[in-house]
């Protein structure tokens, strides 16, 4: 039997090609396992990958998939921006002012541990099943996370650079832009990345409970019909979209923000 050593392979191909190869192999392995299991179990509650793909194609051609994903993405975008803006402001304020931090710290912990579902239900009860209530619920779930992450950044701001900015009279706006924000950028980025995955999961729940369009609503509908292939089709489509956002938007931003590092 002939054996090919990994080292020999590594020498022949560039690192990214090997990484890509492994990714494809692992993905193919997953699909094969899924297909085999579906074949053995032979139940309509576990459709194989091709059935799911067919369902996805059906929803795609009817335009429903694109519509519901677009609606959900819009909600993700709005609540993400709102949560980042408010959370970052709170984080910076608490990081800079010790007194405020001491007072509001327990509030933060309270909100961090408040179950997402409770916030969603309360928002719908208090503000009605409206778009604003939905966005608010998602944002409130995310704000404490952003605040805690950005607070760490604000605490570690360099006093040295602040003094430099003061002596050279950079002024408020230029200090913020050139001195403060670049120091906070890695913390924003960390909050954004964990934030995106959290926000889109919560948006689905919000849609399931109180909206009549969006991926979450569709999942609810197909759940009542026990149509597992459709549920998987929507889930898969959404995972793909979020991956594209990560690769096409977040990673290039991260590379740009970190380009000065050695």
Partner 1 sequence: MAPVADDLVIRIVRKIFPAVANREAQPVLSDIELRVEPRSFVVLTGPSGVGKTTLLNIVAGLDRDFEGSIQFAHTDARVAYIFQTPRLLPWRTVEENIALVLPEGDPRHALIPELLERVGLTGAASQYPERLSLGMQRRAALARGFVLEPDILLMDEPFVSLDDPTAQGLRELLIGLWNKRPTTVLFVTHDRTEAVMLATRILRLSGASATIVQDEAVQLSPSERTDREKVLAEQQRIFHDT
Instruction: Specify burial of residue 53 (Cβ count, 10 A radius: 0-12, 13-18, 19+).
Output: middle
Rounded to a whole number of angstroms, the minimum distance from the CB of residue 98 to partner 1 is 14
Rounded to a whole number of angstroms, the minimum distance from the CB of residue 192 to partner 1 is 18
Task: Please select the residue that binds partner 1; options are 128, 174, 197, 247, rule is CB under 8 A.
Answer: 174
Helical packing angle, 64-96 and 98-113, nearest 10°: 150
Q: Is 102 in the site for partner 1 (CB under 8 A)?
A: no
- Of residues 27, 45, 34, the one with CA closest to residue 229: 45
Q: Is 255 in the site for partner 1 (CB under 8 A)?
A: no
Contact 36, 49 (CB under 8 A): no
Sorted by sequence, the CB contacts under 8 Å of residue 65 that are 6+ apart come out as 56, 59, 233, 234, 237
Q: 122: which 2 tokens?
A: 């309360």
- Rounded Cα–Cα distance for residues 103 and 85 (Å): 21
Q: Is 179 in the site for partner 1 (CB under 8 A)?
A: yes
Kindly tell me which of 162 and 246 has the beta carbon lying closer to partner 1: 162
- Rounded Cα–Cα distance for residues 15 and 9 (Å): 10
Kindly tell me which of 45 and 169 has the beta carbon lying closer to partner 1: 169
Q: Is 167 in the site for partner 1 (CB under 8 A)?
A: yes
Task: Please select the residue that binds partner 1; options are 170, 241, 245, 250, rule is CB under 8 A.
Answer: 170
Could you give the string, one character per residue 182-201, with x where binding to partner 1 holds by CB under 8 A and - elsewhere?
x--x----------------
Kindly tell me which of 16 and 173 has the beta carbon lying closer to partner 1: 173
Sorted by sequence, the CB contacts under 8 Å of residue 220 that are 6+ apart come out as 207, 208
Rounded to a whole number of angstroms, the minimum distance from the CB of residue 42 to partner 1 is 59
- Distance between alpha carbon 215 and the CA centroid of its chain, in Å? 15
Q: 205: which 2 tokens?
A: 């729940």
| Piece of the chain touching partner 1 by CB under 8 A; list 119-127, 142-150, 156-164, 239-247 | 156-164
| Piece of the chain touching partner 1 by CB under 8 A; list 32-40, 112-120, 162-170, 212-220 | 162-170
Rounded to a whole number of angstroms, the minimum distance from the CB of residue 16 to partner 1 is 24
Rounded to a whole number of angstroms, the minimum distance from the CB of residue 178 to partner 1 is 6
Q: Is 172 in the site for partner 1 (CB under 8 A)?
A: no
Task: Please select the residue that binds partner 1; options are 161, 190, 236, 242, rule is CB under 8 A.
Answer: 161
Contact 136, 127 (CB under 8 A): yes
- Of residues 134, 122, 126, the one with CA closest to residue 75: 134
Binding site for partner 1 (CB under 8 A): 160-161, 163-164, 166-170, 174, 178-179, 182, 185, 259-262
């Amino acid at each position: 039997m002939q054996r090919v050593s990994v080292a020999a392979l590594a020498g022949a191909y560039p690192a990214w090609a090997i990484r890509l190869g492994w990714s494809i192999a692992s993905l193919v392995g997953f699909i094969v396992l899924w297909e085999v299991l579906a074949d053995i179990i032979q139940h309509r509650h576990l459709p194989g990958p091709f059935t799911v793909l067919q369902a996805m194609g059906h929803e795609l051609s009817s335009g429903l998939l694109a519509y519901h994903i677009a609606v959900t993405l819009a909600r993700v975008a709005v609540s993400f921006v709102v949560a980042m803006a408010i959370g970052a402001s709170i984080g910076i304020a608490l990081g800079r002012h010790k007194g405020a931090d001491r007072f509001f710290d327990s509030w933060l912990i309270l909100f961090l541990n408040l179950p997402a579902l409770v916030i969603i239900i309360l928002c719908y009860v208090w503000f009605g099943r409206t778009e604003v209530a939905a966005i608010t619920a998602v944002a409130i779930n995310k704000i404490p996370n952003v605040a805690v992450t950005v607070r760490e950044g604000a605490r570690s701001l360099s006093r040295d650079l602040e003094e430099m900015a003061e002596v050279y009279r950079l002024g408020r706006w230029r200090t913020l832009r050139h001195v403060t924000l670049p120091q906070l950028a890695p913390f924003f980025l960390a909050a954004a990345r964990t934030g995106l995955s959290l926000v889109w999961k919560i948006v689905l729940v919000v849609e399931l409970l109180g909206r009549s369009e969006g991926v979450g609503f569709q999942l609810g509908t197909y759940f009542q019909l026990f149509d597992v292939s459709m549920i998987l089709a929507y889930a898969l489509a959404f995972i793909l979209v979020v991956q594209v956002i990560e690769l096409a938007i977040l990673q290039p931003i991260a590379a740009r923000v970190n380009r000065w590092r050695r």
